[in-house]
Amino acid sequence: MKILFHPDRADIHLSNVLSALSDPVRLLIVSNVNNAGERSCGDIGVPVAKSTFSHHTRTLREAGILNVRVQGTQRILSLRKDDLENRFPGLLSSILKAFETSEEKKQLLNPEQ
């Protein structure tokens, strides 16, 4: 089994976090995990192909935003809220609050409008 890289708390850098969260699809993934708690990859509805979803989760994991745990054939996603709050107080909650009311989220969820 492949070992997944997760940066230590001290190695989470602001530039990597902001870069990872600059993509609307990644923001949607983080928003879904934040709202629903720990989720398997298959339970997160995003309008992208599986391979693209895997790329986005890898980017979020390597930036220190998501924790990915392998359970059998599933990958379980959870937010590293405590680590992010410790490193950058209020950052994640501010970004997610802004995203919840954004046009980008509405467009991702309703692409035909």
pLDDT at 113 over 70: no
For 22, other C-beta atoms within 10 Å of its C-beta total: 10
CATH number of 11-99: 1.10.10.10
Q: How far is CA 60 from CA 5, 110, 112, in A?
A: 11, 23, 27
**pLDDT by residue (tens digit) across 49-106?**
889 999 999 999 999 999 999 888 889 999 999 999 999 999 999 999 999 888 887 7
Alpha-helical (H) ranges within the chain are 14-20, 24-36, 50-63, 81-87, 91-100, 103-109
Domain positions in the chain are: 11-99
Whether the Cβ atoms of residue 75 and residue 69 lie closer than 8 Å to each other: yes
Strand order in the sheet with 74-79: 39-40, 74-79, 66-71
